[in-house]
């Protein structure tokens, strides 16, 4: 993949930037000459990534410590970011978490965390930066969703609900702002090889069952950064999984029956 010239000199806010896809997004943005503005809870990791970016690409990366599940604090930090940087050119809502398990066995606290991080904070960030994008007549909002936003499977009811919400929000928002010069893209991913599963399924059995099909976070980040400032409805990885989602939307009951063994693998 070549350079994405559109990223050069642009400021890109990335949530959940301290590990997984987020850290690679920051690196690819810097590699293309953009300025990553990174947000996460882990300041140690953010500092290391910022140093690495500066050392490798001669680009200053900025970082902010934030717990996205704390709405009031997060709102203040977004205000601070806007104050510090003037204009932001793109927002990549990458932060997300899961705890896999049957609804009956899931702790309410874990349900609340998934809803507040995957849905509420994503909408909060977008809502706060949107007037700013509309006013400048350009901007790109990229929501890292999931194929779980299209197909729900047992043991991921709440996670799938949050990703269905993200997809619904993204699709409506895209239509709302299309005449304002603002692009909105959803990134629907299958399982990605990151620390995500350490929390989602501490037993490691889900990770083992999907090992062959896991996406590389570096590759995902590269594809996303290539698509920045381009009008693109959605990015689906891996492609074959999205074909499954299309079949599912036409014949859900049939597919649930056919895929029962696969769906219950978590």
- Between 247 and 122, residue with greater pLDDT: 122
CA distances (Å), 173 to each of 14, 183, 219, in order?
Answer: 19, 9, 27
Q: Check 24, 159, 206, 248 and give the catalytic one.
A: 159
- Between 171 and 240, residue with greater pLDDT: 171
pLDDT-derived band at 266, boundaries 50, 70, 90: low
Q: Check whether 195 has a pLDDT greater than 80.
A: no
- Domains of the chain by start residue, with CATH: 5-263 (3.40.50.720)
Q: Check whether 258 has a pLDDT greater than 90.
A: no
The span from the first CA to the last CA of the chain, in angstroms, equals 34
Q: Is the torsion defined by CA of 253, 258, 260, 266 positive or negative? A: negative
Q: Is the torsion defined by CA of 201, 207, 213, 218 positive or negative? A: positive
The mean pLDDT value for 140-144 works out to 97
- Most distant pair of Cα atoms in the chain: their distance: 54
pLDDT of 200 reads 74
Q: Check whether 196 has a pLDDT greater than 80.
A: no
Query: Within 10 Å of residue 19's Cβ, how many Cβ atoms?
Result: 17
pLDDT-derived band at 53, boundaries 50, 70, 90: very high
The mean pLDDT value for 88-96 works out to 97
Q: How far apart are CA 31 and CA 8, in angstroms?
A: 9
Q: Which of 106, 219, 79 has its CA nearest to residue 162?
A: 106
pLDDT-derived band at 203, boundaries 50, 70, 90: confident
Edge-first strand listing for the sheet containing 35-40: 62-65, 35-40, 11-15, 90-93, 139-144, 182-189, 234-237
Cα 120–Cα 37–Cα 137 angle in degrees, nearest 5: 75
Annotation marks residue 159 as catalytic: yes
- Between 93 and 266, residue with greater pLDDT: 93
Would strands 11-15 and 90-93 be described as parallel, antiparallel, or unpaired? parallel
Q: Check whether 243 has a pLDDT greater than 70.
A: yes
Q: Check whether 264 has a pLDDT greater than 70.
A: no
The continuous run of DSSP H or E covering 243 comes out as helix 239-250
Q: CB of 143 within 8 A of CB of 187? A: yes
Q: What is the pTM of this model?
A: 0.90
pLDDT of 263 reads 65
pLDDT of 247 reads 75
pLDDT of 3 reads 83
Q: Check whether 256 has a pLDDT greater than 70.
A: yes
Q: How far apart are CA 169 and CA 249, in angstroms?
A: 18
């Amino acid at each position: 993949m070549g350079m994405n010239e559109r990223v050069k000199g642009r400021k890109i806010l990335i949530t959940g930037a301290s590990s997984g896809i987020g850290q690679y997004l920051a690196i690819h943005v810097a590699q293309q000459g953009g300025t990553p503005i990174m947000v996460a809870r882990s300041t140690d990791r953010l500092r290391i990534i910022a140093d690495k970016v500066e050392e490798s690409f001669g680009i200053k990366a900025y970082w902010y410590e934030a717990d996205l599940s704390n709405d009031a604090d997060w709102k203040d930090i977004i205000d601070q970011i806007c104050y510090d940087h003037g204009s932001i050119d793109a927002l990549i809502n990458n932060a997300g978490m899961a705890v896999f398990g049957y609804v009956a066995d899931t702790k309410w606290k874990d349900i609340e965390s998934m809803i507040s991080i995957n849905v509420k904070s994503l909408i909060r960030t977008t809502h706060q930066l949107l007037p700013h994008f509309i006013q400048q007549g350009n901007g790109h909002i990229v929501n890292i969703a999931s194929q779980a936003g299209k197909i729900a499977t047992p043991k991921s009811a709440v996670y799938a609900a949050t990703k269905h919400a993200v997809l619904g929000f993204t699709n409506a928002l895209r239509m709302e702002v299309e005449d304002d010069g603002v692009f909105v893209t959803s990134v629907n991913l299958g399982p990605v090889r990151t620390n995500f599963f350490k929390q989602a399924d501490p037993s490691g059995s889900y990770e083992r069952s999907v090992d062959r099909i896991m996406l590389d976070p570096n590759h995902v980040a590269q594809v996303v950064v290539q698509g920045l400032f381009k009008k693109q409805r959605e990015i689906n990885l891996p492609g074959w999984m999205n074909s499954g989602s299309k079949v599912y939307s036409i014949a859900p009951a049939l597919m649930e029956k056919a895929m029962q063994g696969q769906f219950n693998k978590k």
